[in-house]
Chains A and B, each alone.
Chain A
């Protein structure tokens, strides 16, 4: 397009006058608005990426002397320039939470001297109480020193896997073995309770049943005791090997090797080792169990819960959304009603998610779930089975929330199927359903897929309705596991989005948890953005494919 220019400007003054007359400065201001938007998005993504990716990196440990004669050792995490009366400050992550009662400390920079990085400084990632930063003194087994000095470092790495394995074994027995026994015991007791409920009031229950349940419970109790003894012994053996460490200010601390997740000396690590360490921690983050009320360890249950919930949601939402779209496009009589329904569905997409949550809680959880409990699980009442938040109810709520997305996308793709293909099929004598099933549906599969993926992305990122229909801070068991009936639709679950909210806003030590929240955020954003990009790509491909045919 041409800029309509009336005069040829010769002087700068007249050029500027012309600029204002033509309104080019407004045009640039519009561009500025767009520029700001672009900067905001990129800024946000960069912020999350920068903070999220650095969480696993082993930073060097710095030791410093303070003006009052004490010493500090830790990772320098931030510095702040002097602002007005407050002097410049340095933030150190000193770890050793159980000794200091804090992880981070802000110190005026002028008070710090003698910055150095001791090569033998050890950082230990522990099962509890966060990181330990200090020096390794010796390794003991059953109270006897087996190695000290430099040998201790190799000994620690030699003994640690064994101790960890024992602890893991003990934990497995506690969780799986004892858990299974408990579940069976519970079921036996419920059988008795159920018989009691079925019997006419006042009548005694069958003594045979009672006796059989009682013997079963007794047998299970002895199993339970045995497993307890075994796991107790394993725990005792696992903590035989211990590392004795010293903090920079001379306090000694004994840590059982079994509770050491990782021990490393960041000041002497090579770049390759650092990358290895980084990858191993990242893998742990994705596959590991949370520790310290979610502020450390992995987020595997949250990833699992998110994926599982999203999948159940898709399974529900796809058929309903697709059938509704076909109804609106192919079956319903086009008229005022369909127009109204379409407005209603578009509107449904704009209804706040919390409203769906409220509906899910009232309808699915209390009304439907409460009803199921009354009919199928009366022996467990008043403890609710389905009458409380769970993965099924959360998924159904989200399915309702995302059904407009699928309907709109499917309708769009049905409309894009060339008229010729449809008419050709009908002309060959195919029935309406045959045409739809064999011609229209296959052609609109990519469009349906786009809708479902968009719905999944929306579902994966939604938190508010889940908070009240079944997501919890910490779910002890996954919704899918090895115990009967394997697929536990009534269980509560963890979710990445809720994890962010919970750890970032409800945990007692927010400062220490923040880096991890950034990492979780990065993970969630990656999932959502990936799903969206996939859907957008798919949509563009369909549009290009049918561009010629449809119009």
Chain B
């Protein structure tokens, strides 16, 4: 510009235009950016809710299925001659045994041709009449036409070549042969392996007799023992199910009877006989050998558990606990899963259904063209094999990640295996392989409400009364000091409160419990007595303390009351609780006194909640228009009468909203509960034991939960619950507060 000192007016105009254009551009850009970011923030807030919700959705979805292929089984003349169907854990081979061949046949799922035949030496000269494959491993038991039982296993050797490609070579190994009933054909076999690998088998023969025995590899076999009296069971035996201890045995017959034996107690006479008019057409134990799965002639599918009738019973008759979606025709095959409490059933009209025991959910259904003859479920639970009587094999890929969760298992009473009645239980991990995780959120919700309840019990009276005092009776200069102090209290990290409550306060409280509870009475009494004493003093003395500074007199009274409580505590304890309140609690309520109990939680949680309730209700009290107060005084009401009858009712919606916000905070409080309770998920409202809350439960369990697993998603459900609960509380509080504000404005 320096070499052009006097620009012409038109030039100046141009320059101004350029500037204004730039300004406009910046303005428009800023407009856009701020709008976008502002909306972005709101989207992110919504995203939290949506994301957490989306993570929980797969829990409630059905299983997904996709048919991989369908083909006729090669070299099978009649599909009904197939006795057993299996699949290896890599889902690379399907294998089966039919009565016509003395060998296991392996079909590759990649080339769809038979890749191996493994003859079993013991089948030479006879033929198989029954076969059973254990659900979890490829262990086979085969019954023959000459009354023997063959124990064998299918093996799949895995090798990797230089290019890291996998080859699997299937083979079979015969482990032993036991002669059960020479001269009779075996019609049904069933087997379980116990933890040391011994085979516990049960066998039915064509003359209606049942035998059980134990087979140990590489040891001389012991003779199988017969079950039942010499006289045969009525009807033809259609199914057997024995447990891995070789003790419990169920025998189903075609005349509609199911006999339950406790072999160790009585081999000859059934413990109970159950009538099934519809006939039991398929039965087996689900994994863990506790739930008996039954498929009936009318298409019903049920799970029965042994339930004790008395506490002391050792023998348990079975009861119908779960029922599943009914199939349109008689159940022809029931295949338990080898890994969870799921199972597959097939019906005479070709329907296939995948159910889950605990949740009673039907995860998927499909239909074959012909009646279902045999089923298999891979050990990874990702492939489902179904063979129709027309000889067609269908292999379906299954994705079934969370069958154990239903609305009922999360929020309802569930009858778990090994329990005598339906209960609410949270128990996410266990020691054994066949442990079933129990995901009832109810104990956690109860724990959350319990913690909040005791916290609010302590906090509400103190916080609201303190706020009333601060806003109505306190000198303004003192108030301007006190409010920031309470705000600081609100900022105290909860981990600090939790630490002090758990490690310092809980052990201390245990020693002075009766005295502390007594303080609830002694402190107010001492204060009232102090008031009376003060009134009796000469007026001259009283006027030395200005109005609004009574706090200075009250503080020592509070301390005096607390001291008196502690002094009287042991006296009361020896007078009413026989000198030991813990034993008294135990005798009176039948429950152990825990050091980290709900009283500790109540006080610690109160610490976190008091400042919140105090601040919000103080605001509500202070915002009551002063004309109300003046009118009340003018009518001759005292300070307290005005506060109690005018200010409190007017501000009560504000107090309510303060309590709601306090509740929201208490519900979500994590560290205090985590550190100051024992974190046991129990269903009890007693003040003398602890709790586990939703929030603490998330903090404890989510670091160990496998990503996208069931526990992980259930914890997201817990988070969603917390989110929803606090969101509702806070919204109610906020709406009430805004309406109150509008009301005051109008006055």
A residues in contact (CB < 8 Å) with B: 1-4, 6, 12, 15-16, 19, 21-41, 44, 47-48, 83-84, 202, 320, 323-324, 326-328, 330-332, 341, 343-348, 350-359, 361-363, 366-367, 400, 403, 407, 431-434, 436-437, 457-458, 460-464, 467-468, 497-498, 500-501, 504-505, 510, 514, 517, 521, 524-525, 528-529, 532-533, 536
Contacts and interface: CB of A to CB of B under 8 A. Distances in A.
Contacts of B497: 44
Given A16-B535, A320-B41, A532 B491 contact: yes
B30 interface: yes
Nearest to B47: A363
A26 B550 CA distance: 13
Contacts of A83: 511
Interface stretch (B98-106, B113-121, B182-190, B630-638): B630-638
Contacts of A350: 661, 664-665, 668, 726-727, 729-730
B489 A41 contact: yes
A510 B727 contact: no
A344 B45 contact: yes
Given A38-B482, A497-B495, A30 B466 contact: yes
Contacts of A357: 698-699, 702
The 7 residue pairs across chains A and B that have the minimum distance between CB atoms: A352-B668, A327-B38, A461-B493, A23-B640, A33-B465, A22-B638, A30-B469
B91 interface: no
Contacts of A4: 633, 636-638
Contacts of B63: none
A390 B340 CA distance: 35
A23 B638 contact: yes
Given A25-B528, A347-B734, A354-B670, 9 more contacts: A4-B637, A28-B554, A30-B468, A31-B551, A37-B486, A363-B51, A504-B502, A521-B499, A532-B491
A17 to B, nearest CB: 10
A352 B640 contact: no
Contacts of B488: 41, 529, 532-533
Task: Say what secondary structure dominates the interface of chain A.
Answer: helix
Given A32-B554, A346-B734, A347-B730, A19 B535 contact: yes
B707 A366 contact: yes
Nearest to B496: A521
Contacts of A501: 495, 498-499, 671, 674-675
B722 A32 contact: no
14 contacts: A6-B636, A28-B531, A33-B466, A38-B482, A38-B485, A344-B42, A347-B734, A407-B41, A463-B494, A463-B671, A500-B496, A501-B495, A504-B502, A525-B496
A33 B461 contact: yes
A352 B669 contact: yes
A422 to B, nearest CB: 15
Contacts, number: 333
A524 B493 contact: yes
A31 B486 contact: no
B521 to A, nearest CB: 12
Contacts of A462: 493
A527 B495 CA distance: 14
Contact of B727 (A22, A41, A347): A347
Nearest to B459: A37
A252 B254 CA distance: 84
B532 A31 contact: no
Contacts of B528: 25, 28-29
Contacts of A34: 465-466, 469-470, 474, 482, 551, 554
B719 A354 contact: yes
A327 B35 contact: yes
Interface in B279-315: none
Nearest to A540: B484
B24 interface: yes
A431 B23 contact: yes
Interface of B: 23-24, 26-27, 30-31, 33-35, 37-39, 41-42, 44-45, 47-48, 51-52, 55, 163, 461-466, 468-470, 473-474, 482, 484-489, 491-500, 502-504, 511, 523-524, 527-528, 530-532, 535-536, 547, 550-551, 554-555, 557-559, 561, 579, 607, 610, 614, 633, 636-641, 643-644, 661, 664-665, 667-671, 674-675, 695, 698-699, 702-703, 707, 715-716, 719, 722-723, 726-727, 729-731, 734-735
Given A33-B469, A84-B579, A431-B27, A346 B730 contact: yes
A269 to B, nearest CB: 29
B637 A354 contact: no
A45 to B, nearest CB: 9
B504 A47 contact: yes
B48 A359 contact: yes
Nearest to B640: A23
B668 A353 contact: yes
Contacts of A19: 531-532, 535
A28 B492 CA distance: 28
A79 B31 CA distance: 69
B527 A327 contact: no
B554 A464 contact: no
Nearest to A2: B633
A358 B51 CA distance: 10
Contact of A434 (B27, B33, B702): B27
Nearest to A28: B531
B607 A352 contact: no
Nearest to A22: B638
B491 A467 contact: no
Contacts of B494: 461, 463-464
Nearest to B630: A1
B503 A514 contact: yes
B707 A323 contact: no
Given A25-B531, A28-B554, A332-B38, A362 B27 contact: no
B554 A525 contact: no
